[in-house]
Amino acid sequence: MAVGVFDSGLGGLTVLGAVTERMPDVPFVYLGDNAHTPYGVRDADDIYALTCAGVERLWEDGCDLVILACNTASAAALKRMQETWVPEDKRVLGVFVPLIEALTERGWGDNSPPREVAVKHVALFATPATVSSRAFQRELAYRAIGVDVEAQPCGGVVDAIEQGDMQLAEALVHSHVEALLRRMPRPEAAVLGCTHYPLVEHAFREALGERVDVYSQPNLVAASLADYLIRRPDMIGAGRDSAFLTTGNPVNVSRKATQFLRRQITFRAA
């Protein structure tokens, strides 16, 4: 057994990098659904079906606990999966809640009523599907009042990253940030609500300027998972084998992953 990490493609590697650094003794099995990326332009039923198939594949590999290192899957599919599909002995967790807990100054499992928080104007950058799900606003409303969220669907960014065209990805980031700043000129915080975006975080920071606090998921998710595994060590299981699986072309995916994580990564076919 091991812990599963799922994404539509390469973006979840940003989360994988942070969790392996924080928990070097825990074996992780990564699955990228590169054959179907990007998810951000698909409808909710499609994302639900693809995410369930990916999670099932990781269960087959002995991962009773799967992290959806994909905001689009977390936003469009996770609630439905948890309510109707995940069996008793398995867990599927998303990447939204740790981020929102950090933004609203809450510790894990603090279910007290929503309250005023320091931040009042939040810029959300995410895929079109995540933005239209409004899952971020819903989770935020459970925890905070009086926070104005302006969301920018960042069409094209995931595609450019998956193609390895980082110049295009950076240019798109600049134009998406400019579009958002025209509607909300002075956000105090910006949320990178897609796990691909840490790969172009420098472009977001540059376009947003120094005054904006940038919330990026990998370290927040790693801290939250470490906490969870202290409470539920049984969810790790006994196995020691980490692996990288893809529904896409393993040679191409390995090349891009090696470039992104700056260490040799070898994917095999899922």
- Give the interface with ligand DGL as residue ranges (CB under 6 A): 7-9, 11, 37-40, 70-72, 127, 130, 158, 194-196
Taking a C-beta distance cutoff of 8 angstroms, is the pair 35, 247 a contact? Answer: yes
Nearer to ligand DGL, 63 or 158 (CB): 158
**Shortest distance (Å) from residue 9 CB to ligand DGL:** 6
Nearer to ligand DGL, 104 or 130 (CB): 130
The answer to whether residue 70 is catalytic is yes
Across 8-141, where does the E strand assignment appear? 28-32, 65-68, 91-93, 115-116, 121-126
Helix or strand (DSSP H, E) at 268: strand 268-269
The answer to whether residue 154 is catalytic is no
CA distance 241 to 238: 10
**Shortest distance (Å) from residue 186 CB to ligand DGL:** 26
CA distances (Å), origin 26, targets 4, 30, 226, 239: 11, 13, 10, 9
Count CB atoms within 10 A of the CB of residue 201. 15
Taking a C-beta distance cutoff of 8 angstroms, is the pair 170, 203 a contact? Answer: yes
**Shortest distance (Å) from residue 154 CB to ligand DGL:** 9
Task: Extract the tokens encoding 219.
Answer: 């370290």
**Shortest distance (Å) from residue 170 CB to ligand DGL:** 17
Count CB atoms within 10 A of the CB of residue 268. 11
Q: Rg of the chain's alpha carbons, rounded to an integer? A: 18
**Shortest distance (Å) from residue 238 CB to ligand DGL:** 30
Maximum distance among all alpha carbons in the chain? 52
Nearer to ligand DGL, 20 or 130 (CB): 130
| Per-position DSSP letters for 3-21, written without gaps between them | EEEEESSSTHHHHHHHHHH
Amino acid at 142: Y
Catalytic residue among 52, 63, 154, 194: 194
**Shortest distance (Å) from residue 197 CB to ligand DGL:** 8
Using the Cα atoms of residue 194, residue 195, residue 196 and residue 200 in order, give the sign of their dihedral: positive
Nearer to ligand DGL, 20 or 37 (CB): 37
Nearer to ligand DGL, 8 or 216 (CB): 8
Catalytic residue among 52, 63, 70, 154: 70
Catalytic residues: 70, 194
